[in-house]
Structure 1
Amino acid sequence: MPGKVSPDELLAHVFDRTGADADETILQGPANGEDAAAIDWPGGDLVVSSDPISLAASQVGSLGVYVACNDVAASGADPRWLTVVILLPDESVPIETITTDLDAAASEVGASIVGGHSEYVDQLTRPLVSLTAMGAAAEFIPTGGASPGDRVIVTKAAGIEGTAILAADFGAELDVEDAETVCDRAASFLDEISVVPDARVVREFATAMHDPTEGGVAAGLVELARASGVRLDVDADAIPVRDETARLCAAAGVDPLRVFGSGALLATVPSESVADCLAELAAAGIEAESIGTVREPAADAGPALELGDETITEPVQDDLYPLWEAADATDEA
């Protein structure tokens, strides 16, 4: 089954196997819903996060930078340093394309590539790039910092990354009016994957921030609820969904709230600060909406996402995986 390792597996096999005992310098270690670690050091809170990505060579470098740096930014830090591991299937994949994109994207977010590793691995069928991003924060902001009474906000829109993937992988097969134009616009969404600018604004107000990836905004909200031990009451209709996203998702039979969500930033903000936070985002040219409220969990229940009429307590699987599996099965047949 593709996708993230389940929280139960992480709890059973990962979180208690972390080498030497943690000391007082570790502010945040491995935990469900937490995408970055935080370490106390003289320059502030050092935030560290790692992410792999596997795509076509023309996209893997820039997207890899954005995805790794998003987790650091969503923890309250400015991304400063990157290490990069590049694994290539063979010499037909040009490493210069990947490194050119890495250089451009890292320059855009203000991070320096300080080391890494590269090699050819003939078991691969496409490039695999894994990045570790690091940055300093005046104050680490966890995923698990939401408090009852806070408001939930989201920047940009749901399914930004998923929309671009649908256009690239399935656009030719989907029954969408004016498909070529819609897919061209959707492909441009990859330019909006970075949430570094969003987080620089929101961190001045936020009690918690989170970067939704696999499983989309719905998965990100569940992860935030579980990490914080709260219930999130969210108005599904208040979550922004772009026209291109709605049309491509409808044609593919998938939920815009349950496809890859990179490009949006989720945050909780004290209710008295919401108007100021949204105003600052607007001034920076970043769209955002207040979509829900943080509540105490019900007495007889644990953390949950109340998304309209639906109560979600377990991790959300991404709706795109079945599409890829069906496509692979057709190719093999």
Structure 2
Amino acid sequence: MTARYSEDDLIARLFAPIAGPAGLGLTDDAALLPASSQPTVATVDMLVAGVHFFADDPPAAIAQKALRVNLSDLAAKGAEPVGFLLSLALPGDWTNDWLAAFAEGLAADAAAYAAPLIGGDTTATPGPLAISITALGRAARFVPRSGARPGDAVYVSGTIGDAALGLALRREPEFAAKLSPQAREYLDGRYLLPRPRLDLIPTLRAHATAAMDVSDGLAGDLAKLCRASRASAVVEAPLVPLSRAAREAVALDPGLLETALTGGDDYEILFAADPAFEAPPGVVRIGDIVAGGAPPRFLDQAKTQMIFGKMSFSHF
């Protein structure tokens, strides 16, 4: 039986090759970032097996999801990534092969998104696998949650609800079997691997008054943005963009529309901007920011307010 890597070995063999210059080869106690005229933006997300991903998901995909959810936060703030710190709490059943595949997936995304590893930590845990990533970025203009004002329009990128539906289908295989293979594959892929919208950084810097990524659910995240901005919003639910796969699922079970509107893990960008703003392809206006302190209202086709059992995912 091959001996497992020591902590020094796994750092030197698997993670040091991913490190950028600021990481100093992962041989020091801290990273050294070059000076910049742009403010530094920092964000952190922790992912835990059984909560944020399935323990038997491919290790490369687990690593990539952990990095991408952080890059999504940077994108929503108008910040381009400069690097990230990784902390791993490994349970007793990890293997060299599993960790090598994890590092391979991480390296691929670090290169693809120009976000090198610059430091981190590893430890053992008696509990499930836990991954914490702190991502750092630079923002020529920081886009807060708190800048939306009555008269702004509400926009969202991509399609909404795919990841939440993908998770629902994993938990309900009997219903999943009713969907076409193409729909199942698409929805599962959207849950497994988010797509951070770094392409929208120039748009957000130029036009957004407030922005955040949709991580806990469109309805609840819009409520957070509105609270921070001391305003409210009205959304026309039929305008919320749904993928073909999501529409197929909702057609089979209309109750899944609420799942799509309130479920998490989309990692699309929700933002407010001038209604005269010319949205780029893939960005859709879904409503308006209005005065008041009430939670956002979602209206159905008949302009009747929709009532949700919960507005978004919550850990507690």
- TM-score of the two chains, using structure 1 as the length reference: 0.72
Structure 2 partner of 1:185 = 186
User: CA offsets, 1:247-299, max 9 Å, x none?
Assistant: 34554944210111423110111123x22xx1xx22xxxx12111111111xx
**Distance between the aligned counterparts of 1:219 and 1:295, measured in 2?**
16
Query: 1:143 is paired with a residue of what secondary structure?
Result: coil
Structure 2 partner of 1:288 = 283
2:111 to 82, 104, 107: 107
User: CA offsets, 1:138-159, max 9 Å, x none?
Assistant: 1111011111111111000111
Structure 2 partner of 1:220 = 221
The 1:201–1:109 alpha-carbon spacing in structure 2 relative to 1, beyond 3 Å, is farther
* Gapped regions of structure 1 (runs ≥ 5): 1-40, 322-333
Structure 2 partner of 1:263 = 267
Identity of aligned residues (%): 22
Shift of 1:303: 4.2
Structure 1 or 2, whichever has the larger Rg, is 2
Q: Which amino acid aligns with 1:225?
A: C
* Gapped regions of structure 2 (runs ≥ 5): 1-34
2:304 equivalent to 1:307: no
Query: 2:146 is paired with a residue of what secondary structure?
Result: helix
Q: Is the 8 A contact 1:222 1:313 kept in 2?
A: no
Q: Is the 8 A contact 2:77 2:142 kept in 1?
A: yes
Structure 2 partner of 1:331 = none
Structure 1 partner of 2:25 = none
Structure 2 partner of 1:53 = 47
**Distance between the aligned counterparts of 1:51 and 1:231, measured in 2?**
27
Shift of 1:210: 0.8
2:307 equivalent to 1:316: no
**Distance between the aligned counterparts of 2:310 and 2:167, measured in 1?**
21
Q: Is the 8 A contact 1:144 1:224 kept in 2?
A: yes
Aligned residue runs from structure 1 range 113-128, under 5 A: 113-124=117-128, 127-128=129-130
Query: 2:39 is paired with a residue of what secondary structure?
Result: strand
Shift of 1:181: 2.9
Structure 1 runs of 4+ off > 6 angstroms? Answer: 311-315
**Distance between the aligned counterparts of 1:187 and 1:200, measured in 2?**
30
Query: 1:204 is paired with a residue of what secondary structure?
Result: helix
Aligned residue runs from structure 1 range 223-234, under 5 A: 223-234=224-235
Q: Is the 8 A contact 1:166 1:248 kept in 2?
A: no
**Distance between the aligned counterparts of 1:77 and 1:312, measured in 2?**
35
**Distance between the aligned counterparts of 1:120 and 1:224, measured in 2?**
37
2:38 to 23, 37, 44: 44
How many residue pairs get matched?
A: 263
Q: Is the 8 A contact 1:141 1:208 kept in 2?
A: yes
User: CA offsets, 1:198-227, max 9 Å, x none?
Assistant: 33433321111110112x111111111111
Q: Which amino acid aligns with 1:209?
A: A
The 1:315–1:108 alpha-carbon spacing in structure 2 relative to 1, beyond 3 Å, is farther
Q: Which amino acid aligns with 1:119?
A: T
- Of 83-92 and 145-154, more deviation after overlay is shown by 83-92
Shift of 1:92: 3.4
- TM-score of the two chains, using structure 2 as the length reference: 0.75
Structure 2 partner of 1:87 = 89
Q: Is the 8 A contact 1:305 1:312 kept in 2?
A: no
Q: Is the 8 A contact 1:60 1:129 kept in 2?
A: no
